[in-house]
Amino acid sequence: MRIALFTETYLPYINGVVTHVKALKDGLEALGHDVLVVTADAAAKRHYIRDGVLHCPAVNSKKFYNYSIAGPVSRGRLLMLTQFNPDIIHIHNEFGIGMSGAIIAQILKVPLVYTLHTMYDDYIYYVAPKPFVPLVKKTSHKYAKLLASRASALTGPSKKVEEFFRDCGVKKPVSVIPNPVELDKFSPQNVTAQQRKECRDKIGAGDDTLVACFCGRLGREKSVDIMLRYWAETVRPSDHFKLMIIGDGPCRKELTNLAKLLGISDMVYFTGAVLHDDLLPYYAASDLYITTSVSDTNSISMLEGMAMGLPVLHIRDELNRGQVRDGVNGYVFGTAQEMYEHMKRYQESSAEFKEAFSQSVRQSVQNSGAETLGRNLIAVYQQAIKTYTQKRENAKRKKNLRYKQHNLQ
């Protein structure tokens, strides 16, 4: 099968969508399929293909972390896609490149698959002043509905995506396909004891310190402020707990100031931006992964922590229920006190319990590799082709019937 994956961002950028698309490309190619990634590239002066990636000229958007944004219409892009001759087009974003994929699928008469990765209602504040939020939200829902109407299949990493589509008025079924994790890369075996010690020393964590980490973009939608407030409400220096915030973003200064205001700066360490390839020692230096975000659909950073053996403390989120199972790969909490009690109980557990729990956590993501993702999507593609073919055949029969009825008159 020949598959074109459309994504607004791709390597060398790193975010959840990029990681998902890269794993999908690797998984599909490992299964013997031909893949072309189509992406925006502000450094590209013309359309060109290199290493299975079609680079499309674009401009940088300062509002969206300097990601590249490309126009939806391009004759050169269409020509290259025509030459590639895809059996399926799969879009992973909703902006210029995503709309381009929808348009090209219609022109080339091939099925379109649409994966929604992002809960855009949680990101509207990036582009709209507060008074305009309701209008922008309504417009974004109409746009998502438009793209969904053109697709032969819809997918998303959690039930939260299905709920979003329903809010947009989309009634089509949604295939829930969890995000992938690079299992070969994110493994405790890939970090030495010395690297772990150096990282813990850097953040001021002693042998008896429990380190809980969060990794992600420091934007309002990640609710790191709630984590800090919960921490200040319950944790005391005598507990020997350390909170490590891995990442950077527009709210970093606001969050560091909040930690100072709450009087917990000595217990919180902000790493700043960390390259994806450099994350392993930070995970290895941690004992738990913690998140208070309810905007994520199926956090890849969380999965990476789990692949490293870190039990997850996840704030209760009904639409993501089942991703974290109490006593299997972590614990769910609803209050600051519950969060604290889970950390305290884990800290006081035996080394044997912690090792067994870590093994259980790693086992819970063993079926989250690239080839599993590829096989799951191939099943979606096959169904999309069947649905698309049936729809075209039905349209053709109706057209022939109208033609016959016209001639009889």
Phi-psi region of 85 (alpha: psi -120 to 50; beta: other; left: phi over 0): left
Of 281, 321, 332, 326, give the one whose Cα is nearest residue 304: 281
Phi-psi region of 335 (alpha: psi -120 to 50; beta: other; left: phi over 0): beta
Token match 């039930």: residue? 159
Coil/strand/helix, residue 264: coil
Token match 């990029």: residue? 18
Buried b (16+ CB within 10 A) or exposed e, 77-104: bbebbeebebbbbbbbbbbbbbbbbbbb
State the average pLDDT over residues 230-254: 96
DSSP 349: S
Task: State yes or no: pLDDT of 64 exceeds 60.
Answer: no
Write down the mean pLDDT value for the chain: 92
Contacts 24+ apart (CB under 8 A), 78-85: 78/104, 78/107, 80/47, 80/49, 80/54, 81/4, 81/36, 81/38, 81/54, 81/108, 82/108, 84/2, 84/4, 84/36, 85/2
State the average pLDDT over residues 346-371: 96
The Cα 224–Cα 319 span in angstroms is 19
Instruction: Please give the pLDDT value at position 404.
Output: 62
Q: Which two tokens stand for residue 50?
A: 């290199």
pTM of the full predicted structure? 0.88
Question: Tens of pLDDT along 123-143?
Answer: 666 666 777 778 878 888 998
Q: Across the strands, what pairs with 5?
A: 37, 90
State the average pLDDT over residues 360-374: 95
> Per-residue confidence at 21, pLDDT binned at 50, 70, 90?
very high
Question: Tens of pLDDT along 182-225?
Answer: 999 999 999 999 999 999 999 999 999 999 999 998 999 899 99
The Cα 101–Cα 141 span in angstroms is 19
Indicate if 188-364 has the same CATH topology as 2-180+370-401: yes
Quote the distance between the C-alpha of residue 75 and its chain's center. Answer: 30
Instruction: Please give the pLDDT value at position 128.
Output: 64
Q: pLDDT above 70 covers what percent of the chain?
A: 94
Q: Across the strands, what pairs with 176?
A: 156
Task: State yes or no: pLDDT of 62 exceeds 70.
Answer: no
State the average pLDDT over residues 377-406: 84
Domain ranges of the chain: 2-180+370-401, 188-364
Please report, for residues 48, 125, 134, the alpha-carbon distance to residue 131 in angstroms, rounded to integers and kept in the order given.
Answer: 42, 10, 7
Task: State yes or no: pLDDT of 407 exceeds 70.
Answer: no
Question: Tens of pLDDT along 43-61?
Answer: 999 999 999 999 999 998 7
Question: Tens of pLDDT along 314-333?
Answer: 999 887 788 899 999 999 99
> Per-residue confidence at 65, pLDDT binned at 50, 70, 90?
low
Check if the beta carbon of residue 388 is closer than 8 Å to that of residue 111. Answer: yes
Query: Which residues are CB-contacts of 380 (< 8 A; sequence separation ≥ 6)?
Result: 113, 153, 155, 175, 177
The Cα 359–Cα 368 span in angstroms is 15
Instruction: Please give the pLDDT value at position 382.
Output: 97
Residue count of the chain: 409
Coil/strand/helix, residue 273: coil
- 38 phi/psi in degrees, rounded to 5: -110, 120
Q: Write down the CATH number for the domain with range 188-364.
A: 3.40.50.2000
Task: State yes or no: pLDDT of 408 exceeds 70.
Answer: no
Instruction: Please give the pLDDT value at position 392.
Output: 85
Superfamily of domain 2-180+370-401: Glycogen Phosphorylase B; (3.40.50.2000)
Task: State yes or no: pLDDT of 105 exceeds 60.
Answer: yes
> Per-residue confidence at 104, pLDDT binned at 50, 70, 90?
very high
End-to-end alpha carbon distance in the chain = 45
Instruction: Please give the pLDDT value at position 127.
Output: 63
> Per-residue confidence at 253, pLDDT binned at 50, 70, 90?
very high
